[in-house]
Amino acid sequence: MKTDKQTKTIDQVFDEFLADQEARLSPKTYRRYEDILDLFRSCLEGCWPGHEQEEYNRITDAGGTYCGTYGPDEIAGGLSEFLGYFMPHKVVAGKETMKAAGTVTKKLMKWLAEKGYVKDTETLEIAEERATEAAHDLPAARELGGLLADYVDEHAPEHYSREIEDHFTVTRTEPGKLWLEPFTSGDREIGPVPVPSEVSRQCRAGWDISGVVVKTRKGWRLLEVWNVSP
């Protein structure tokens, strides 16, 4: 039976995309593409973007999967979850893999448009822009996370009066300083929080730092840093 654009699944489209790329890529780069699509597939299978629990139960109880059920028009809808949460929070990898996540998905969005797999070209353009940003921001955030972790290892205070364990949104930056807004504690903006000048130079307002911030006699200080994500 012939499979057309309307009946192809995400799995089939991913395989076709990789087949098209294999001819132009070195073996090493092609394996990177395979790895990123495997991660993207894992993300989609884990979160089922755009679909309710009842639908998930019905399909999985019958032995189905997200990528084996839905078509290419569902791909762009899962990109924000993949680049905004899955890669920075669920994947333990270096800067090259983080950069590749943006680069490969950008190429995928462009390819979907060229092949005519998705009629909503505006959605694909937005997704492609998101992927372009991620190719820069994900490796930069991974590097900042390492810099902050090293910094707190050397400068974590021993004495403090208050502790906030949370996700913190960076609200503004100055040389050597960050201001943070806790996500769940109910506190408003806290700061300045001292950081290395390289961190304040590269960090952007709106980025997320997960960890522990404490109040000392000299002001707010980082006690632990677990992750930085754009």
DSSP states of the chain: ----TTT--HHHHHHHHHHHHHTTS-HHHHHHHHHHHHHHHHHHHHH-TT--HHHHHHHHHTT--STTTS-GGGTGGGHHHIIIIIIIII----HHHHHHHHHHHHHHHHHHHHHT--S-HHHHHHHHHHHHHHHHHHHHHHHHHHHHHHHHHHH--S--SEEEEEEEEEEEEETTEEEEEESSS----EEEEE--HHHHHH--TT-EEEEEEEEETTEEEEEEEEEEE-
Instruction: For residue 112, give Cα distances in angstroms to 5, 7, 11.
Output: 11, 15, 13
Please give the span between the terminal C-alpha atoms of the chain, in angstroms, as a whole number: 44
pLDDT, residue 3, reads: 45
pLDDT, residue 2, reads: 39
pLDDT, residue 92, reads: 85
**Among candidate residues 171, 162, 157, the one with its CA nearest the CA of residue 203:** 171
**Mean pLDDT, consecutive 10-residue segments, the chain of 230 residues?**
65 97 94 97 96 95 96 94 93 92 96 91 90 94 93 93 95 96 90 95 94 96 94
C-alpha to C-alpha distance for 204 and 141, rounded to whole angstroms? 9
Do 168 and 196 touch, CB atoms closer than 8 A?
no
Name the residue ranges covered by the structural domains of the chain.
10-142, 156-229
pLDDT, residue 119, reads: 84
pLDDT, residue 7, reads: 80
C-alpha to C-alpha distance for 228 and 46, rounded to whole angstroms? 22
Question: 156-229, which class in CATH?
Answer: mainly beta
Q: Sign of dihedral through CA atoms 107, 113, 115, 119?
A: positive
